[in-house]
Amino acid sequence: MMRKSNFWGLLFVLPFIIGTAVFFVFPVLFSGYISFTDWDMFNPPKFVGLKNWINSFKDPAFWISFRNVLYFAAIFVPLQTIFALVIANMLNQKIKFKGGFRACYFLPNVTPWVAGAIVWKFLYGYDYGLINYILRSLGFEGSYWYDSDKWWVAIGSLALMNVWKGMGQTMVILLSAMQSVPKEIVEAATTEGAGKAAIFRKITVPMISPMVFLTMILSTISAFTAFDVFLTMFDVYSLPDRNNVVNLMVYREAFIYGKMGPASTLAWMLFIIILIITVIQRKFEKKWVHYEN
């Protein structure tokens, strides 16, 4: 039951009202405004109309950084989803040490990116890296990874690390969804002779598809807003355009070059792109997500 009381209700949510007004509503509106200005944060903003938007749109560096984010997401999201599904499905069987396994898979998720990046840079290292050592002892050649001149190798290495970092969370969400699949359906299918693989494909995955879909949307958004992984793995100050992503561009324009106008424009373009992709994903949702009525 809800009590109607403007006084008490508003008093309780007052911290949120202040917080949202100061740290959300004002910044969003202000950032929208400065995307149409030239501003260095010290002198008053100068209105320049659509200049920043047109310049960003014409800037090849923006399209490269956008391509990189797309590529990053295209590797990260499917891989993370597939691994999380497979591991969650195994943990959903009668298995011992379930808690221990879950903790192992979840551990990367709780550790700070900076520390993770330092280790991964070492693992990916050309001369002394463990990965190249293993490859070389298997008879392959070593390769540069995060520091490769090929953008797709560099960004791809970061996407793989991101799978390591993020998989645990997706797995936990999917596992909890799997645990709510009715046991009777699975048992009925088993007595009719369906194998584990068939049950996974024909029952489990369709039943939890709304949750799979949700985790995919969340991972996509997290791929597009990823910042720490790029900040800690790449050197922001000397990052070549070929490896740039939109988020790092925003940071660099604003806090290294002091160009608040173009930086805000880029941030808004990123937001618009995220919105468009979420809308497209929602359209596809109807095609393959199974909802119970």
Partner 1 sequence: MKRIFYYIVLTLGAFIMLIPFLWVLSNSLKTVDNVMKIPPQYIPNPITLGNFKIVLNELSFLKYLGNSFFVVVFNLVGTVLSSALVGFGFAKFDFVGKKILFTLMLATLMMPAQVTMIPTYFIWSKAGMLDTFLPLILPAFLGQATGIFLFNQNYRSMPDVLYESALIDGCNPLRILFQIYMPLSKPTMMTLIVLTFIGAWNNTMGPLLYLQSREKYTLTMGLLTLDQSPIAAANVGVKMAGSVITMAPVIIVFLFSQKYFVQGDISSGVKG
Contact positions with partner 1 (CB under 8 A) in 180-199: 196
Q: In this structure, are residues 132 and 126 in contact, taking their beta carbons and an 8 Å threshold? A: yes
* Residue 112 binds partner 1 (CB under 8 A): yes
Sites for partner 1 among residues 117-146 (CB under 8 A): 117-123, 127-128, 130, 133, 137
Return the range that interacts with partner 1 (CB under 8 A); candidates 50-58, 70-78, 94-102, 147-155.
Answer: 94-102
* Residue 250 binds partner 1 (CB under 8 A): yes
Instruction: Name which position in 44, 49, 95, 283 contacts partner 1 (CB under 8 A).
Output: 95
With respect to partner 1, which residue has the nearer C-beta, 156 or 168?
168
Sites for partner 1 among residues 61-90 (CB under 8 A): 83, 87, 90
As a whole number of angstroms, the distance between CA 246 and CA 225 comes to 9
With respect to partner 1, which residue has the nearer C-beta, 5 or 282?
5
Q: In this structure, are residues 140 and 99 in contact, taking their beta carbons and an 8 Å threshold? A: no
As a whole number of angstroms, the distance between CA 54 and CA 63 comes to 13
Return the range that interacts with partner 1 (CB under 8 A); candidates 57-65, 184-192, 198-206, 250-258.
Answer: 250-258
- Based on the number of CB atoms within 10 Å of its own CB, is 100 exposed (0-12), middle (13-18) or buried (19 or more)? exposed
As a whole number of angstroms, the distance between CA 118 and CA 128 comes to 14
* Residue 111 binds partner 1 (CB under 8 A): yes
Where does residue 244 fall: left (phi above 0), alpha (psi -120 to 50 degrees), or beta otherwise?
beta
Sites for partner 1 among residues 14-43 (CB under 8 A): 15-20, 22-28, 30-31, 34, 41
Nearest 10 degrees: Cα torsion 230, 284, 203, 96: 10
Residue from 166, 167, 170 nearest 178 by CA: 170
Residue at token pair 């984010």: 69
Return the range that interacts with partner 1 (CB under 8 A); candidates 51-59, 60-68, 147-155, 246-254.
Answer: 246-254
Least gap, CB of 290 to partner 1 (angstroms)? 17
As a whole number of angstroms, the distance between CA 132 and CA 272 comes to 40
* Residue 228 binds partner 1 (CB under 8 A): yes
With respect to partner 1, which residue has the nearer C-beta, 53 or 120?
120
